A and B are shown apart, each in its own frame.
Chain A
Amino acid sequence: MGRRGRQRLVAPFILPALVMYTVFFVYPAVRALWVSLHDWSGYGGNMVYIGLGNYREMLKDTVFRAALERTLVISVGGGIAIFVLALFFAAVLQRNLRGKKFFRTLIFFPMVVPGVGLGLIWQFMYNNSWGPLSALLELVGLEVLDRVWLGPDHIIQSLTAAIVWTYVGYYMVILLAGIDKIPPTYYEAAFLDGASEWKMFFTITLPMIWDVFVVALVLWTIGSLKIFDLIAATTFPAPATSTYTMTIYIWAEAVGVYTPVFRLGYATSLGVVLLIMVVFAVGVVRFLTRREAIEY
């Protein structure tokens, strides 16, 4: 079709989005690379060029290293829990059991709730002097299991549990969409051959949804490194440095969680590290999960 007129639409159609995106997202991101090479304390002060000084400081910064570790623990540990559960739920809900829609909708629901709301709920839940969790353990005579849930020794497990509960529905729905596309005839054939449910799961379901699974894994990898609202609200208003994750540490340095810190250059260099982690992690996930596509 010779529709030359269309070409003239391209610029006016694309430019508004291009400009808004460039000015309010890309420009600050590119600018951040430059800011990260500076020492800059306070929005009124001057930027002092220090080259890779901020990055060298990180190597000696024990708070940074611990925050990085916590972030990775949440990403890997939480990721394993989420994908085991999401695959499990998706496989169970794949059968048309009564209330399938109800369960799917309910398990997804925490994703829709503001993260700060969830975090404040968990902050109270996990409070070991008056929270319901500790009260429940006492009620059933299991005080030995009681912990300082949000103390430095246990906070990462506590946060990871809350994160798994929040996000599992999201990955379940993605995997379920993949499973629903598998032709039922595969299962019929396997069933007639006497395959067990487990066998069918590993030989039919998992290989057939592999591409969807990889996409879900990439999404989790990116998302998990950036989780902020839920963690910030759970530890609000005064998280101890011994409970920082990367996102909380960046926030603390850029604005100050309790009292202003305003180490703007350093905070921005931490943001650059977060970006590098995202890019690197996505690359690793894609490398580890690469394989020949199975033709059925």
Chain B
Amino acid sequence: MSTQDAEFTPVTSGMGWRHRLSNLPYYVVLILWAAFTILIFLWLVESSFKTNVEVFGSPWSLPATPLEAASANYEKAWAISHMSTYFRNSVIVSVVSVALVVFISAPAAYALSRVPFPGNTLVNYYFIAGMGLPLQLILVPLFVLLARLHIADSLQGLILTYVGVSIPFTILLLTGFFVTLPTELEDAAAIDGCSELAIFWRVMLPLAGPGLFTAAIFNFISMWNEYLLAMLIVTSDTLRTMPLGVMSIRYSMQYTADWSGLFAAVVIVIIPSFLVYITLSERVMAGLTLGSGK
């Protein structure tokens, strides 16, 4: 152990092997849990490298012909089951919704956190109240509303809905960031004759960059994974997002029982989240848990 470790963990360091041995049971539980989690996902990937006969006959054996089985499964999922289309839809919906929600939430969060105006607190509460609203509550009226606006069963309808329901948390998260920024820079820019819009755009927004990035990641992951609203709003096959696509493959399996093809589709759905996560895990964890610290 380095000296730095010893400084921060007086409890375990410098107490010799006897003490560390007494901690062994705790580590064992931790390691078992971690191993189980790895096993689940390895098993999923491994199953997508098997044929259906193998998947059903021997769920714990290794794939006999991994490459042939995998190319068949992934080809089926990507092309025949239209995962390529669903993938494109998911990218469009998530990227556009994330850009929109951050773009309109950032100015609002800035005004709410840094400009004192009458009714500020009230408006803040109004936004935060949305955090408690269950999506199940709005299903029917939302669908009627979108139908009236002629955007039911469209990606536009889905995007506008995602933006609307994501605003409360995004504003909460960004307000938290703006509050912590120092006022000196703002004031200095004001004295230099910067317009108020320029202060926001050129000074405050860049300073809040990490916050905007965290908000974007959080929203991207939630929207990429979202199922309930997508299922309500989208009915056309060609407009399905990835979660809908995977479920529609599962639905059609009542007749084919093609689980290995489904596992390939599930792997395809998980890969983007996985890639974002392994490159930005600290940001993702911060983004998903940040609202809780306030």
Contacts and interface: CB of A to CB of B under 8 A. Distances in A.
A173 B289 contact: yes
Given A92-B26, A200-B11, A222-B132, A14 B140 contact: no
A139 B60 contact: yes
Interface residues of B, number: 100
Contacts of B232: 254-255
A131 B187 CA distance: 64
Interface residues of A, number: 103
Given A20-B164, A96-B9, A116-B227, A29 B273 contact: no
A271 B133 CA distance: 10
Interface in B201-244: 221, 224-225, 227-228, 231-232, 242-243
Contact of A35 (B111, B127, B141): B141
A95 B56 CA distance: 43
A173 B284 CA distance: 11
Closest 6 CB pairs of A and B: A24-B164, A271-B137, A28-B138, A13-B107, A17-B108, A31-B141
Contacts of A17: 104-105, 107-108, 127, 167, 171
A18 B108 contact: yes
A236 B269 contact: no
Contact of B262 (A6, A32, A120): A120
Interface of A: 1, 3, 5-10, 12-14, 16-18, 20-21, 23-29, 31-32, 35, 40, 43, 85, 88-89, 92-93, 95-97, 102-117, 120-121, 124-125, 130-132, 135-136, 139, 165, 170, 173-174, 177, 184, 187-188, 191, 197, 200, 212, 215-216, 219, 222, 225-226, 228-229, 232-233, 236-237, 246-247, 250-251, 254-255, 264, 267-268, 270-272, 274-275, 278-279, 282
27 contacts: A5-B195, A9-B115, A9-B196, A10-B111, A13-B108, A16-B107, A20-B104, A20-B160, A23-B145, A23-B164, A24-B161, A28-B137, A28-B145, A31-B145, A32-B137, A43-B144, A107-B34, A112-B274, A130-B59, A188-B10, A226-B135, A229-B243, A237-B250, A268-B139, A268-B141, A275-B137, A278-B134
A156 B293 CA distance: 31
B228 A278 contact: no
Given A17-B171, A25-B164, A268-B141, A10 B33 contact: no
B143 interface: yes
B289 A177 contact: yes
Nearest to B90: A114
A14 B112 contact: yes
B8 A96 contact: yes
A254 to B, nearest CB: 5
A173 B164 contact: no
B143 A43 contact: yes
B163 A97 contact: no
Contacts of A21: 127, 130, 164, 167-168
A10 B196 CA distance: 11
A275 B44 CA distance: 36
B176 to A, nearest CB: 13
A9 B197 contact: yes
B192 interface: no
Contacts of A216: 292
A24 B227 contact: no
A291 B221 CA distance: 36
A85 B32 CA distance: 13
A225 B269 CA distance: 25
A247 B259 contact: no
Contacts of A229: 225, 227-228, 243
Given A18-B123, A116-B269, A117-B243, 15 more contacts: A9-B196, A20-B160, A20-B167, A25-B164, A27-B141, A112-B276, A117-B246, A135-B58, A136-B60, A187-B11, A229-B227, A251-B228, A255-B231, A268-B140, A278-B134
A120 B164 contact: no
Interface string B246-260: 110011001000010
A271 B231 contact: no
A271 B134 contact: yes
Contact of B136 (A27, A88, A226, A279): A226
A107 B289 contact: no
Contacts of B115: 6-7, 9-10
Contact of A130 (B56, B105, B227, B262): B56
A52 to B, nearest CB: 17
Contacts of B269: 114, 116-117
B236 to A, nearest CB: 15
